Chain A
Amino acid sequence: MENLVNVYFFGKKYQVPESLTIMKAMEYAGYQLVRGCGCRNGFCGACSTIYRIKGQTELHACLACQQKVENDMYVATLPFFPLVKQVYDIEKIKPTEQIMMQLYPEIYACIGCNACTKSCTQGLNVMQYIAYAQRGEYEKCAEESFDCVMCGVCSSRCPAGISHPQVAELSRRLYGKYIAPETQHLIDRVKEIEDGKYVELIETLMNKPIEELKELYNNREIEK
């Protein structure tokens, strides 16, 4: 029989196998999850959770679908956190420093406590990417924040009330749209397609008998 550990969901004690993640342990205990569960794979940020091990002062943050249970773990899920998301028209804004000042002025109130970085469930340097955003260095902000799953734990710990994931999202879109180099071969190909360049080619293919298509497929040249 597998080892059982004691965990406390919202203060109530349950015994669960020690190999389980927090998410699976909650289900094992009998919870039918509706909130706080999305991809179950560490990509969507639905399952933000905070926990403390009995007797220790440190408060931990994690994704429930990724974190294993431990003995004497006190768990509270954070299925929703009121992040501030400002709306803007991506076609109209420009990647200038002003745009952050307009949309997310609170980032300039960062007191440098680093609580965001310490709590990041993805291990990102959150305070650093906010610093980049403050300076309008969107490429750096975009790169540094790229693995963000927007779980919101950082924001829950921020004394300045910053919505870090939304600041990062804006930076990434600014970078992707305005700063990253344009792709000429893409623009060219789209134009060719608009001009109908491939219509005949594909239609000829479509109208071939299956046997002939099989021939073509099985003998097609493959790029090294």
Chain B
Amino acid sequence: MYKYTQEQLDSMKKVEATRQERLNNLFARMSADEKQTVLKENHPDYIETAYEELKVGPNKGGKVLHELADLLQGKSRVLDMDIDLSKPDYDVDVLVIGGGGAGSSAAIEADNAGAKVMMVTKLRIGDANTMMAEGGIQAADKPNDSPAIHYLDAFGGGHFAAKHELLYKLVNDAPDAIKWLNELGVMFDKEADGTMITTHGGGTSRKRMHACKDYSGAEIMRTLRDEVLNRGIPVVDFTAAIEIIKDVEGKAAGAVLMNMETKDIYVAKAKTVIIATGGAGRLHYQGFPTSNHYGATADGLVLGYRAGAKLLYADTLQYHPTGVAEPTQIFGALVTEKVRSLGAQLVNKDGQAFVYSLETRDVTASSIIRECKKRDNGIKTTDGEGVWLDTPMIDMIGGEGTIEKRIPAMLRMFGKYGIDIRKDPILVYPTLHYQNGGLDISADGMTTTVPNLFVAGEAVGGIHGRNRLMGNSLLDIIVFGRNAGKSVGKIYKDIEVKELTLDHVKAFDKELKDAGINATKLSPQLLPNYTKQKDI
């Protein structure tokens, strides 16, 4: 049994006492106006002091969080190095930077097109947020659903800000993405007759969330990894890209690589480059804990920005409503939205529900923050405060065994600390989860300003707008990963790479100096530094 405080235990009793009643009376959904209000007053994206104006680069004058500004306007690692670009260590058609779901999908499709592909990743292939996506993947493949309905859900959920051409691709290619994965051997949850078992996610109007228990991302990632290895696509692991190389015509033409252990430097020449470096949770924006993997440090944004690629919506982040608030050992870890899809409610210290469980993520997170900070209805935890997520409701609704069958990872994660989520509710608080914004691309996956530089996955901005629905991220990783791989597959044969150069890096540095910025922080950051710290 986990050692809860007396206060927590007392509050847990109240949750228990109101459970039956809450089961019968669902909390009402918010109106559009109520949503606006709770967002404006509570969502971290609206805290102006957390932001600053960029002084240089393609988004000069735009605002981003301080932590990101420090890196975008940071000091390049190659400035003090003597790098001979005339003798590349690698020479390929397609260089994929990043070893997650987007990078792997891109590599497989580029390989299908006959291109010579190489993947580099600063950790191992599969050490990525894809691996940790628990809840599922959306696709409108049921008879009562359509890509158009999916479009409206996602467009509205993203506050009407998504780039039309990208969202179109996302929803229209979704069923084929599922089919592709299934044919690679991904084990989706199905009925005996083959019908996909699908559920709602926050903000969906149809049940289109496909899942592989609550290891959806892990199942997808390990399958993609296996496929990459089967094809013999070289994966250079523990090697980070630290700068994009261009040719004298301004096209992307490779990257400077660094061995993470020996710090040796290599030059990779490539006809096309795909940035698939993922998110930024490990920058701990505004001091939030994160559900992200160890390498989520926005490297791709920095690489792209310095090479001249534009950012879109880099100011908006997703705080997942339900990060672990207790036990402290797994503070910030993700409690999948599926827990709420299956019926668990959010409940305050007095055992009262305060929000409909499946509002969009930003609205739900804001409601939790309001409940704690403004209404003082939170429960104190080791690292701060939180609210209850009433997990025992799941088996009451779905029948005994539902938790075990549908969310085994959650059962195990809490079980390790002596918490049985079938019997007792758990404490949660929003955690930094997803980078809504990123590099600006057009529908073929290429950046809008740097030829032959492609982006896929979480490093892209604009697919979802200013908020993302559950299950659309795993989807975008597959759709836009494949898309980038196919796009480079079509053009690589006709590309002629001219003399390589890093002049754009020097020019950026000069711009920084001219703007009066004396950059000292090395970027991209590559890894967080947690040494000598207790609270991570």
- Report which A residues bind B (CB closer than 8 A): 17, 19-21, 24, 27-28, 30-35, 37-44, 46, 66, 68, 85, 87-90, 122-123, 142, 146-147, 149-150, 169, 172-177, 180-187, 189-190, 193, 198-199, 201-203, 205-206, 210, 213-214, 216-218, 220-223
Contacts and interface: CB of A to CB of B under 8 A. Distances in A.
A192 to B, nearest CB: 9
A77 to B, nearest CB: 14
Interface in B198-214: 200, 205-207, 213
Given A35-B238, A146-B215, A176-B186, A42 B413 contact: yes
A90 B149 CA distance: 34
5 contacts: A43-B217, A147-B412, A186-B179, A190-B141, A198-B172
Given A146-B187, A206-B168, A213-B155, A223 B328 contact: no
Contacts of B223: 169, 172-173, 176
B298 interface: no
Most chain-B Cβ atoms within 10 A of its Cβ — which of A33, A184, A193, A206? A193
Nearest to A122: B412
Contacts of B475: none
A116 B178 CA distance: 33
Contacts of A175: 185, 187
Q: Which 10 A-B pairs have the closest CB atoms?
A: A173-B185, A217-B156, A181-B194, A38-B127, A176-B185, A177-B185, A176-B187, A201-B148, A27-B530, A189-B141
Contact of B195 (A185, A198, A214, A218): A185
Interface string B290-305: 0101110000000000
A57 B375 CA distance: 53
Interface in B283-338: 291, 293-295, 328-330, 333-334
Given A190-B176, A206-B164, A46 B123 contact: yes
B193 interface: yes
A174 B205 CA distance: 34
Nearest to B165: A206
Given A87-B230, A87-B232, A37 B172 contact: no
Contact of A39 (B206, B293, B532): B293
Contacts of B206: 223
A185 B143 contact: yes
Nearest to A149: B218
A34 B187 contact: no
A183 B195 CA distance: 5
B62 interface: no
B229 interface: yes
A147 B213 CA distance: 9
Given A41-B330, A183-B196, A221-B205, A90 B184 contact: yes
Given A40-B294, A142-B187, A221-B205, A202 B148 contact: yes
A135 B172 CA distance: 41
A38 B196 contact: no
Given A41-B330, A176-B186, A176-B223, A34 B238 contact: yes
Given A24-B536, A172-B185, A183 B409 contact: no
Interface in B141-187: 141-144, 146-149, 151-153, 155-156, 160, 164, 168, 171-173, 175-176, 178-179, 182-187
B25 to A, nearest CB: 16
Given A177-B183, A193-B172, A34 B527 contact: yes
B194 A202 contact: no
Given A190-B179, A206-B164, A147 B238 contact: no
A199 to B, nearest CB: 8
Given A19-B329, A43-B409, A223-B206, A198 B261 contact: no
B147 A198 contact: yes
Given A32-B527, A44-B131, A202-B151, A90 B185 contact: yes
B215 A147 contact: yes
B81 interface: no
B114 interface: no
B185 A217 contact: no
Interface of B: 32, 123-124, 126-127, 131-132, 140-144, 146-149, 151-153, 155-156, 160, 164, 168, 171-173, 175-176, 178-179, 182-188, 190-196, 200, 205-207, 213, 215, 217-219, 222-223, 226-227, 229-230, 232, 238, 260-261, 291, 293-295, 328-330, 333-334, 382, 408-409, 412-413, 416, 527, 529-534, 536
B85 to A, nearest CB: 27
A183 B132 contact: no
Most chain-B Cβ atoms within 10 A of its Cβ — which of A19, A122, A146, A198? A198
B127 A39 contact: yes
Contacts of B260: 34
Nearest to A91: B183
B147 A193 contact: yes
A221 B153 CA distance: 11
B205 A46 contact: no
A220 B152 contact: yes
Given A20-B534, A90-B227, A214 B156 contact: yes
B259 to A, nearest CB: 10
Nearest to A178: B185
Given A87-B229, A90-B184, A221-B205, A150 B222 contact: yes
Nearest to B213: A146
Nearest to A79: B124
Given A38-B294, A218-B156, 17 more contacts: A19-B329, A31-B531, A38-B126, A39-B131, A42-B413, A44-B132, A90-B227, A173-B184, A173-B185, A175-B185, A176-B182, A177-B183, A181-B191, A189-B141, A199-B172, A214-B160, A217-B156
Contacts of B152: 205, 213, 216-217, 220
A169 B178 CA distance: 19
Contacts of B164: 206
Given A34-B238, A190-B179, A17 B534 contact: yes
Contacts of A180: 187-188, 190, 194
Nearest to B294: A37
B478 to A, nearest CB: 14
A211 to B, nearest CB: 10
B196 A172 contact: no
B344 to A, nearest CB: 18
Contacts of A43: 131-132, 215, 217-218, 409
A146 B189 CA distance: 12
Contacts of B140: 189
A88 B230 contact: yes
Contacts of B222: 150, 169
Nearest to B186: A176
A39 B147 contact: no
Contacts of A218: 32, 156
